[in-house]
Amino acid sequence: MNPSLCSSTRPITTRRDFLTRSAFGLGGLGLASLMQELGMAAEAPALSPLAPKQPPFAAKAKRVIHIFCEGGPSQVDTFDPKPALEKYHGKMADDVMKDYQKAAGEVASGMGRLSGKLQRSAFKFAKHGQSGMEISELFPKLATHADELCVIRSMHTKTSVHEPAQLVMNTGEFASVRPSMGSWAVYGLGTENQNLPGFVSLSPNGTTSSGDKQWSNAFLPAWCGGTGIPTKDPSVTKMIEHIRSGTTSLREQRRQLDLMRQMHEDFAQKHPGDALLEGRVSAFETAFRMQVEATDAFDLTREPKTMRDLYGDTEMGRQLMLARRLVERGVRFVQVYHNNWDTHDLNDERHRELCSAADQPLHALLTDLKQRDMLKDTLILWGGEFGRTPTSDNNDVAKKKGIGRDHNAGGFTMWMAGGGSKPGTVYGSTDDFGALAVENKVDVHDLHATILHLLGFDHEKLTYRYAGRDFRLTDVYGHIVKGVLS
């Protein structure tokens, strides 16, 4: 997968250079493509780099919806029940660890990572479905899909600091900005709809606490990058500003096209293989094409009332319904951000609120995709950058802080559904207290390798040459987790 195109070494762009390239080169190509579709241009546009591609191997998943719980959900309150926490509730972790010295060294070391008092879960767990999967009472609607879920209870990651851990989960690297897994998916597969971005990231404010690095293309071509969409205001014109020109009709724009095209061609002859130019051309072309497609795709009022009622008129409900509409229209990778899972205080109250906000929309998404026969080749991934400790944190009642849980990178839970994941499966485990992954441990690189495998790629061969080195999503790590494959 190594392209000949590498990073540009041209000097910093001048204002004249920028205006020439953006105003004339990019708009011309984008508008030309749009006019061709509308029957207003004679020549066909050049083949887009986003054109759909076949992966090297048979793929189980054609598209991905990644639901990212920013902050880190508590595994011991949601999908990883720990009866030992009930038994040792309120006892200091250091004292309890002594009772476990005869256990496996990994369990003992996992307990050694903890401080403070062990804190039981406030929520009851029950078995669901033919699989008997144990799920917390916080997810009553999602629990009805237990036989569709593939729960990984043995995730672990490199760091317990939010921003680096978020970068690792999204890009595989915590110290440097690297291409996100959505960008790698678009790089390898292209996208099925040339009128929409191949990679879309939905969040209330159109960004995250770490900025847009979570969906960066980094050194991959610009057309691989994610497009952040703010969803707080669900109207199309607020989510995508300036979706249409308020002053110039398409036919009037067509009169400008010949001059724009000629100037672009002149510039391209002087600067062949310009990576920045090609990326901006692709971005502007997509923007022009979105004038036709996005008004439909992002307009949730076009959904029947029964479907809007199923998802619910809430922030998460609208985001997940929009995610389904986008993947249905050929968008390759959609991220949905669910924020504020960093429960250092009031863990129980906030988990009730957050899980309640997510439960009905998650149930709706799985139901909807299954009804449309799309779940089988749509991979859904749910989870945060890490989990939370089985000990308590922030118990200062005077400052109105109740019992919370701290960050836990040593062991946490994520789940998948559809897209070739193994339904009704619980894979791996943490120690008796949920502190450390101990059985069938899954690193983030392993998760990424598995996702790429489901998309039809060998993670060791999907590479890009940059700065004299072949880079890949999994760096020099990662193994396919065969136990989660159907």
Complete DSSP assignment for 102-155: TS-HHHHHHHHT--SBB---SS-EEEETTTTEEEETT-TTGGGGGGGEEEEEEE
Instruction: Indicate the SS3 state at residue 442.
Output: strand
pLDDT tens column, 248-276: 766 675 566 556 666 766 777 777 666 56
| Spatial separation of the C-alpha atoms in residues 76 and 85, rounded to whole Å | 9
Q: Looking at per-residue confidence, does 42 or 166 come out higher?
A: 166
Per-residue confidence band for 302, with pLDDT thresholds at 50, 70 and 90:
very high
Long-range contacts of the stretch 238-242 (C-beta < 8 A, 24+): 239/298, 240/290, 240/294, 240/298
What are the beta bridge partners of residue 337?
A: 68
What are the beta bridge partners of residue 134?
A: 127
Per-residue confidence band for 238, with pLDDT thresholds at 50, 70 and 90:
confident
Model-wide pTM > 0.95:
no
Closest CA to 380 of 416, 354, 349: 416
Per-residue confidence band for 236, with pLDDT thresholds at 50, 70 and 90:
confident
| pLDDT, average across residues 292-316 | 92
Give the model's pLDDT for residue 5. Answer: 33
Structure tokens at 259: 């001059």
| pLDDT, average across residues 10-38 | 41
pLDDT tens column, 434-452: 999 999 999 999 999 999 9
| Spatial separation of the C-alpha atoms in residues 35 and 257, rounded to whole Å | 10
Give the model's pLDDT for residue 3. Answer: 43
**pLDDT at 453 > cutoff 50:** yes
Closest CA to 160 of 92, 108, 113, 206: 113
Q: Give the CA angle between residues 90, 92, 95 to the nearest 5°.
A: 130
**pLDDT at 31 > cutoff 90:** no
| Spatial separation of the C-alpha atoms in residues 274 and 403, rounded to whole Å | 56
Lowest model confidence (mean pLDDT) among 216-230, 323-337, 339-353, 385-399: 385-399
Per-residue confidence band for 234, with pLDDT thresholds at 50, 70 and 90:
confident
Closest CA to 268 of 1, 7, 29: 29
**pLDDT at 91 > cutoff 70:** yes
Question: For a pLDDT cut of 90, what percent of the chain falls above it?
Answer: 65
| Spatial separation of the C-alpha atoms in residues 351 and 357, rounded to whole Å | 10
pLDDT tens column, 341-387: 999 999 999 999 999 999 999 999 999 999 999 999 999 999 999 99
Give the model's pLDDT for residue 285. Answer: 59
| pLDDT, average across residues 299-326 | 97
Residue 486 has a CB neighbour count (10 Å cut-off) of 13
Structure tokens at 114: 């903890």
Residue 104 has a CB neighbour count (10 Å cut-off) of 12
> Are residues 64 and 320 in contact, defined by beta-carbon separation less than 8 angstroms?
no
Q: Looking at per-residue confidence, does 279 or 482 come out higher?
A: 482
Which residue has tokens 């990326």?
279
* 413 Cβ contact partners less than 8 Å away, ≥ 6 residues apart: 73, 75, 78, 79, 80, 151, 152, 153, 155, 383, 387
Which residue has tokens 């020439």?
20
Give the model's pLDDT for residue 287. Answer: 61
Q: What is the dihedral of CA 200, 206, 209, 211, to 10 degrees?
A: 70
Closest CA to 431 of 78, 69, 114, 92: 114
* 81 Cβ contact partners less than 8 Å away, ≥ 6 residues apart: 121, 125, 134, 136
**pLDDT at 55 > cutoff 70:** yes
pLDDT tens column, 398-430: 565 689 999 999 999 999 999 999 999 999 999
